Amino acid sequence: MSFDPICKDLQALRVTPNLADYNQARAAHSWDAIRAELQGLPGGGLNIAHEAVDRHARGTRAAHLALRWLGKDGSVHDLTYADMADHSARFANVLRTLGVGKGERVFALMSRVPELYFAALGTLKNVSVFCPLFSQFGPEPVWQRLSRGDAKVLVTTKALYEKKVASLRERLPSLQFILLADAEDDLDGCVRSWPKLMAAASTQFEIPPTSPEDMALLHFTSGTTGMPKGAVHVHQAALTHFATGRYVLDLHPEDIFWCTADPGWVTGTSYGIFAPLLHGVTNLVDEADFDAERWYCLLQDQKVTVWYTAPTAIRRLMRIPGEPRQQFDLGALRLIHSVGEPLNPEAVVWGQCALGLPIHDNWWQTETGGIMIANYAAMDIRPGSMGKPLPGIEAAIVKKGDAGVEVITECDVEGELALKPGWPSMFRAYLHDEARYAKCFVDGWYLSGDLAKRDADGYFWFVGRADDIIKTSGHMVGPFEVESALMEHPSVAESGVIGKPDPLIGQLVKAFVVVKAGHEGNDALRMDLIGFARKRLGPAVAPKEIAFVESLPKTRSGKIMRRLLKARELGLPEGDLSTLEND
């Protein structure tokens, strides 16, 4: 089933979009022009923290609300740009006092608390490297990342230290200091009290000379096997964060912006910290985990205008009966974005019906550092599509063969999604793994590992990860299209699809289905779903087996772990589970 495009009427939009004419914006784009809009350091160079905080704190937005933190207990902590400059300067001075220098790694293992944001910005001011960790990682994933990342400093809390770090110290010889955000006194010479150190530190800090190519961020991403990969990003990434904040998030000076992603993931730093602060808007941070009523109340009471969330959260909201707009005033909201994995087309349409706004999907990776392909505020949406490339980004569908990479010029032909290297937030290395990094680039293209296609109007459509593609009876089947078709059935809340070896057809399509509340996964529903999928996809593509499950294995950032579904189905090794939700 195809969904009709959702057409945009510029006259009906409450705010004139920053990108009103896509083709014109692409033609006029220049990364040098974007760079010229940022201030730069007084002595030259570029530092993300200076652009995100200090230039506002020293200008007309010093008293503007930069960060509103909402605690689990109902507390609210407001911080202006001047406040953020002071707190981040204090932490930069703490690092200097501890002898932490340029390029040395500062890790944070914390939930969404203000200290995490001060640590991120203060680390960058010191020209050290900020490395966020998800607070729900177990000890082994924490050790892997601290070890591989050559951690010198870790910022965490007493509870997380005792539960996940204390037992690792002998295995981490490079880790010199652990700073506890909620400890009133030092535990020993290495485990120090953040409050005491911060209280003694000055709010005056001069950012050292910073090259745009100086290492700034280290984000770990897991593969199917082996140790997690550390993707290196530099200060020049600020240009992509700024450009996407303008073109994709469509940020305007008085916006209230809320990104639900945890800063332990790249989305939570690129768009939960840097992009909104670079634009000088108010950034909302909620300490609590997902709760539908809390979220709707937050959108209503905080008058959120731009909301960036994930497909998993959207699907959870879709499972709840009722009409949100009848219960909550969502009138301030003007733009909704989603990221983390492809957004099923029915979720885009659900947003239009239930929230009064379509949900804008976009595509990028830890390695790209920022949004590369998106649906824009002024552009018609084709539900299920990633959208079109960001101005300044050249994307193509390619085929890799013995002779190298060939660009596919025909429309609606599946191939690997590739980007022309050179955008500012492109990762500069996999830390300590030059060979793996080199394999990502062939014949002048960055190969993403994602399969996609491009239609006649330039919209890109996700097909699946190259290693997820199912080969059945000579057909190449992307699991995403099967999952989306199943989700159109009124009984289905979520689905995950894999290929299962079959001696006759190579692989058969098997689906794992989570049913909505009030529905029962039984033989009658199984046959109904198979017939339903056959009508929409045809017998060659539709699942031949369906299993009902209570939940699907997902990463903590919300992506369905199809390779884990497959490993469990076939009794194979499960591989790296460090990012598994609720492991």
Residue 397 near residue 424 (C-beta atoms within 8 A): no
Q: Are residues 16 and 152 in the same domain?
A: yes
473: in domain: yes
322: in domain: yes
Final residue of a structural domain among 400, 424, 454? 454
Q: Are residues 443 and 474 in the same domain?
A: no
CA distance 128 to 428: 16
| Residue 203, pLDDT score | 98
Domain that holds residue 526: 469-570
Domain count along the chain: 2
Positions in the chain short of pLDDT 50 = 224-225, 583
Q: Are residues 77 and 143 in the same domain?
A: yes
Q: Are residues 436 and 501 in the same domain?
A: no
Q: Are residues 152 and 47 in the same domain?
A: yes
Q: Are residues 165 and 269 in the same domain?
A: yes
Q: Are residues 347 and 489 in the same domain?
A: no
Q: Are residues 425 and 551 in the same domain?
A: no
Contacts of 279 (CB under 8 A, 6+ apart): 242, 245, 246, 251, 253, 255
Q: Are residues 314 and 418 in the same domain?
A: yes
Residue 260 near residue 337 (C-beta atoms within 8 A): no
Q: Are residues 126 and 243 in the same domain?
A: yes
Task: Name residue 26's amino acid.
Answer: R
55: in domain: yes
| Residue 224, pLDDT score | 47
**Looking at the chain, how many residues does it have?**
583
Final residue of a structural domain among 404, 428, 454? 454
459: in domain: no
pTM: 0.85
The residues pairing with 110 across neighbouring beta strands, listed in sequence order, are none
Q: Where are the beta strands (DSSP E) in 166-300?
A: 177-180, 191-193, 215-221, 229-234, 256-259, 282-286
Helix (H) or strand (E) holding 122: helix 114-125
Q: Are residues 343 and 481 in the same domain?
A: no
pLDDT tens column, 79-132? 999 999 999 999 999 999 999 999 999 999 999 999 999 999 999 999 999 999
Can you give the CATH number for the domain in which 510 is found? 3.30.300.30
26: in domain: no
578: in domain: no
The residues pairing with 395 across neighbouring beta strands, listed in sequence order, are 419
Q: Are residues 260 and 343 in the same domain?
A: yes
Residue 247 near residue 24 (C-beta atoms within 8 A): no
Final residue of a structural domain among 454, 482, 514? 454
Q: Among residues 495, 441, 287, 389, which one has the least CA distance to residue 19?
A: 389
4: in domain: no
Q: Which residue has the tokens 């002048």?
A: 444
Q: Could you count the other beta carbons within 10 Å of the beta carbon of residue 451? A: 22
| Residue 134, pLDDT score | 86
579: in domain: no
Can you give the CATH number for the domain in which 151 is found? 3.40.50.12780
